[in-house]
Structure 1
Amino acid sequence: MEATFKIWETSRKIYLKIIDNYSLEQLNKIPEGFSNNLAWNLGHIIVSQQGLVYRLSGLPMNISSEMMEKYKNGSKPTATTQEEIEELKVLLFSLLEKTKEDYTNGKFASYNEYTTGTGFHLANIKDAMEFNNYHEGIHLGFIMNIRKFI
């Protein structure tokens, strides 16, 4: 799992570096031809990780239900405030550290198997964490594309 966590941390550092280079207006802009924006993608990777790893393990998620609703799969972007952006930036790394700690402490004792919308079958916590890295990589690609148009 060490490599999985290393990939995840590297990905999150890239997200932060990108997000830090844009104004709130740019983070909220949905370019023509796109269905979301930089801010939504940032929130989405955070809530997706919590759902894939914690909720499907039967554990409480470490985010508010409001955040979950705002950025869950199938949600539509709404204006994100600067305060929310700052919270998301903190969560990028605080939730990474919390997940590492909980994994080390054996908190992910069970897992409710799940097949993602793209057909990936997640049978256990290891599958969920590896799929999470794949998912975040897809959204990093979306972010790289969106930023060309803002």
Structure 2
Amino acid sequence: MNEKMIFDQLEFARNITFKVAEGITEENADLIPDGFPNSLRWQLGHIYTSVEGIVFHFANETKNLPRNYGELFNTGTKPVDWNTTPPTIEEIKSLLSEQVKRVRETFEGRLDEKIANPLPIGPLKLETIGELISFASFHESEHIGIIKTMNHAVKSSVGTK
């Protein structure tokens, strides 16, 4: 497996995440545009939480998941159900900023290492750490597209009020 490419791909996705997140403020972070189940804050928190869950959890490494992140940002959660104050956008961005470096430092030289419990994703079965990281990059890219669309929807709805 091409280690440099896998790590570069994750870093590339994260850099795009930061670029599309530039306009997210505390004022617009929790707006939920029509047709969307979640907010921009949820999207960013979900990206962070997903990498911890997909990569660190399945590679049997210690996750760096702050208290309440699972209940706030796991798949299937929604801001309308939150009973706790979510982290600030800056807190989430700070965690996202250090995460890619931590992935690289933790898994360098280990991408071909088999994981104990392969992760089935649709027709795929992720069996190595490299496959987990590659899938995490793909997953983040999906959410980048959602954030772009939501940013546009949020700007349109704020501009019309």
TM-score of Structure 1 vs Structure 2, range by shorter chain: 0.7 to 0.9
Which residues in structure 2 correspond to 1:1-150 (within 5 Å)?
1-77=3-79, 78=82, 84-104=88-108, 106=110, 111=115, 112-116=117-121, 118-150=122-154
2-side partners of 1:107 and 1:5: how far apart?
Answer: 10
How far did 1:107 drift? 9.8
For 2:91 and 2:100, the matched residues in 1 are separated by 14
How far does the alpha carbon of each residue in 1:66-96 deviate from its partner, in whole angstroms, 9 at most, with x for none? 1122101111124865x52111111112111
Residues 1:25 and 1:11: Cα distance change in structure 2 (over 3 Å): same
| 8 A contact 2:10–2:137 mirrored in 1 | yes
Separation in 2 of the partners of 1:80 and 1:44? Answer: 16
Deviation track 1:8-36 (CA, whole Å, cap 9, x = no partner) reads 11221222222232321211110011111
TM-score (norm 2): 0.82
- Asked if the contact 1:58/1:110 (under 8 Å) is kept, the reply is no
Q: Give me the identity figure in percent.
A: 28
What RMSD over aligned residues (CA atoms) do the two structures have, in Å? 2.2
- Structure in which a larger fraction of residues adopt strand: 2
User: Does structure 1 retain, via aligned residues, the 8 Å contact 2:38–2:78?
Assistant: yes
Gaps of 5+ in 2: 155-161
Amino acid at match of 1:40: W
Q: CA deviation at 1:119?
A: 4.1
Q: Which structure has the greater CA radius of gyration?
A: 2
Distance 1:119 1:72, change over 3 A: farther
SS at match of 1:44: helix
d(CA) in 2 for partners of 1:6 and 1:109?
19
Contact 1:114-1:122 within 8 A present in 2 as well? yes
Alpha-carbon distance in 2 for matches of 1:107, 1:132: 13
Query: Which structure 1 residue ranges, 5 or more long, are not aligned?
Result: none
Normalised by the size of structure 1, how large is the TM-score? Answer: 0.87
Q: Is the 8 A contact 1:19 1:27 kept in 2?
A: no
